[in-house]
Structure 1
Amino acid sequence: MNHARALIQAVAVAAVLWTTLPTHAQVALRAEVAKPLQAAQELIKSGNPSGALAQAAAARNIANLSELERATVERVAATAALHAKDNASAIEALGYLSVDASVPAAERLTFQEILIGLQRAQGDLAGLTRTTRLYLDQGGRKAGTRALYLQALSAQKRHADIVDYLKPLLADDRNVTLSEPEATALAVAQQSLGNNAGYYDALKRLVISAPANKDYWRELLAQLREQPAFDPRHELDVVRLMAHRQLLSGAEAHVQHAQLALKAGYPLEAARALDAGEAARAFVSAADRLTLDKLRQTVQNKVAEDAAQIKALEAATSAPQRAELAEILHSKGDHAAAVPLYRQALQGTGLRREDELRLHLVVSLALSGRPQEAREALASIKPGSTARELGGLWTTPN
């Protein structure tokens, strides 16, 4: 909330306060309390909120105020302060009303909301932290308040408090989705605490909240490679996901993709990787063009060599052969044709690296516009495996 929005909200709440001020009879004010408060109300009506605030302060100093008298004094003080744009005085009065048990719960939440806006405008991080937490704990549901609480903690480097607050929420079976600011605060906290596993998990939540952010994806995939259970056999799968998310830039990245595809036996994919690099104008220098020409010749030779093998696989019926053909179609981007072949193969026997095949089925389903089937297929991959991690990332909504 910027200062202008805080002021608009303050004026709105001042109007609410004004219309809900109790009368003398309603709260049985003593005459010595009622007199300055009545004077304050008249001064507000006449456009002198500063004078009204002085009258409210005088009433506050009267000895032995009852609970209801004090609440009435603070309502008048808050109204006058908001009209006078005296944030410090408004914060003082609203701070009392926000926690006073004599104030109805719904009104306390309203007072807390405006207090949060004022504390944010004042840069009062400690006060903002207290009030946002109070608001959340008392059932406040205004959008963005939880993020504001976490951001206030983060600004004070209270990283452990962020993790502790979110831990029970994220452990809940409701699969809570964090907003981008919330996930950012969690990621910063986990990284600052040196919790690599927690940082990786927070990055996964970040790409769910902001799937178009390429920086989040780059960091997430870099961290995936650093996970203790990462299987380096899946390096090509990581690069494929990077290509899909348009994270590859520069000649080196496209050459690496092509070389990994060639090494895995997929020259058609290598050709696509080089084409993508050319389309992105990645091969600019003379050295880059020379590398491209040499690699493209190698790729073309391999494509020609594999043509007969592909034709033979199209007529084959065993599960391993169905799987091999599915992998080739997957590598060339023909995902709709690869899906039935993967499913046929996975019903058979004699397969190697079955989780890898199941991952590629998930990817082909996702890329052929069948996200629900992709999520269902994901459940068949071994939990905790690199294949399962990558499959989960491929099924992240765009």
Structure 2
Amino acid sequence: MIKGYLAAAILAGVVGTGVLAPVTAMAEEGAKAASVRPEVGKPVQSALDLLKSKKTKEALAKLKDAEAVKDRSPYEVYLVERVKAQVYATSGDSLAAARAFESAAALPGAPAGERASLVSAAAGQYYSGRDYAKASAIAGRAIKEGAADASLRTIYVQSMYLSGDFANTAKTLSADIRAEEQAQRKPSEEQLQMLATAYLKLNDQANYAKSVQKLLSYYPKKEYWQSVIYEAKQHGGLGDRLGLDLARLQRATGTIKTSAEYEDAVALALQAGYPIEAKKALDEGLAAKIMGQGADADRHRRLGDMTNKQLAEDKQQLGSQDAQAIAAKDGTAQVNLGFNYVLHGQADKGLAMMEAGIAKGGLKRPDDAKLRLGYAYYLAGKKAKAVQTMKTVSGTDGAAALAGLWAIFLSQNN
């Protein structure tokens, strides 16, 4: 009997799955405890030598010679199966490699300390072979058995997602992201993207919106702003009354992309009685060469003429209704007039008037007024106050959702 035969060969040759990190080699003490007869050990050694030269067919033939030996010990059975798994992995036959790694892990002769690594290798090979249901099941088992490799966790979650198990994908990712945040670590962009997509596949619009907002808070990319604003338009419960507020966020984040969106921003500002805001939106659209082009040029010119006319009238009337607004029983007029003052560059006067109007009360939609006060603080360059105000907006009809997005934007642009 040969003690510890092939230990060096195993350490050098039985590595790698093509997906996971190299399979952990057999512990040295385990190798010393094992006995491999020459009639088994020699063909296995030959297989490993052939594997170094990528001669996988010849290596498999040598392993068949080892398998033909009668009365193999549990360790000898395990050794042949494990080397076979590596040969299949090297040849690119991922599913055969996966089955062999899984089989090796279940054999009585497998060292206890190697089982988790072998199961991990099986999961990686099932993933490579696109058997995602099997990959997620095997990876989950490996994790339960103590495998802690981060790439295995990734395979586990991705396999669940790719097999269509979106509910468990979302559940697992949510737990992983909470753990990262509790440890004061930043969740990966890939985790957050997959979580958002899983909720979208589940048609869970509320959690989809929350996950995209979280993605946006950690990775403030313009495409994520576009996604979350689109979602707010489609499912945010904003209604027509908050259309102008949404356009303001679009302008601030630079996510207006079409002539129609700029036209809406201008038209809504005019309807609300803020022609100076309409003028600014129009000028932005023209400067970006999104408006005033092609077949729309004449319509945009007429829109500009209307905007300039209303702006001239607004400047003449500015201040003429202050006393009446202050004397009113509710604060609606004060909020609206104060906001207009801010738009005209008289921030201190306008903010004071808006605050007085909100304090007076009687507003039909006080949260809308707080949302616009927060925006007014932003326009006045008082971003800390803007964030503070946005965080006071509550309710479920869209204003709070917009305020939450503003709070994220403002915190990223101090």
Q: For this structure pair, what is the TM-score category when the shorter chain's length is used for normalisation?
A: 0.7 to 0.9
Residue equivalent to 1:278: 286
Sequence identity of aligned pairs in percent?
Answer: 22
CA deviation after TM superposition for structure 1 residue 224, in Å = 2.5
Residue equivalent to 2:41: 37
| Larger-Rg structure | 2
Residue equivalent to 1:157: 164
Q: How does 1:3-42 map to 2 (within 5 A)?
A: 13=22, 17=25, 20=27, 25-27=32-34, 29=35, 31=37, 35-41=39-45
Q: Distance in 2 between matches of 1:24 and 1:210?
A: 48
Aligned residues: 385
1:362–1:378 contact (8 Å) kept in structure 2 = yes
Specify the code of the residue in structure 2 equivalent to 1:349.
K
1:1-24 Cα offsets, whole Å, 9 max, x none, are: xxxxx979579726x53x746665
1:32-64 Cα offsets, whole Å, 9 max, x none, are: xx6413542355247466455445455567677
Q: Distance in 2 between matches of 1:370 and 1:37?
A: 77
> TM-score if structure 2 supplies the norm length?
0.70
CA deviation after TM superposition for structure 1 residue 370, in Å = 7.1
CA deviation after TM superposition for structure 1 residue 272, in Å = 0.7
Q: Distance in 1 between matches of 2:61 and 2:347?
A: 76
When structure 1 is superposed on structure 2, of 170-179 and 36-45 the one drifting more is 170-179
Cα distance change on mapping 1:143 and 1:281 into 2, 3 Å = farther
Is 1:257–2:265 an aligned residue pair?
yes
Q: Distance in 1 between matches of 2:187 and 2:60?
A: 42
Residue equivalent to 2:403: 391
Cα distance change on mapping 1:45 and 1:71 into 2, 3 Å = same
Q: How does 1:318-397 map to 2 (within 5 A)?
A: 323-324=335-336, 326-328=338-340, 331=343, 341=352, 344-345=355-356, 348-350=359-361, 352=363, 353-363=365-375, 374-396=386-408
Cα distance change on mapping 1:52 and 1:291 into 2, 3 Å = closer
Residue equivalent to 1:124: 131
Q: Distance in 2 between matches of 1:296 and 1:266?
A: 14
Specify the code of the residue in structure 2 equivalent to 1:90.
A
> TM-score if structure 1 supplies the norm length?
0.73
Q: Which runs of 5+ in 2 are unaligned?
A: 1-14
Q: Distance in 1 between matches of 2:112 and 2:354?
A: 61
1:58-82 Cα offsets, whole Å, 9 max, x none, are: 5567677666555444444445555
What secondary structure is seen at the aligned counterpart in 1 of 2:408?
A: coil
What secondary structure is seen at the aligned counterpart in 2 of 1:395?
A: helix
The CA RMSD measured in Å over matched residues stands at 4.6
2:256–2:262 contact (8 Å) kept in structure 1 = yes
CA deviation after TM superposition for structure 1 residue 198, in Å = 4.1
Cα distance change on mapping 1:228 and 1:311 into 2, 3 Å = closer
When structure 1 is superposed on structure 2, of 52-61 and 154-163 the one drifting more is 52-61
Q: Which runs of 5+ in 1 are unaligned?
A: 1-5
Q: Distance in 2 between matches of 1:391 and 1:301?
A: 32
Specify the code of the residue in structure 2 equivalent to 1:44.
L
CA deviation after TM superposition for structure 1 residue 330, in Å = 5.2
CA deviation after TM superposition for structure 1 residue 389, in Å = 0.4
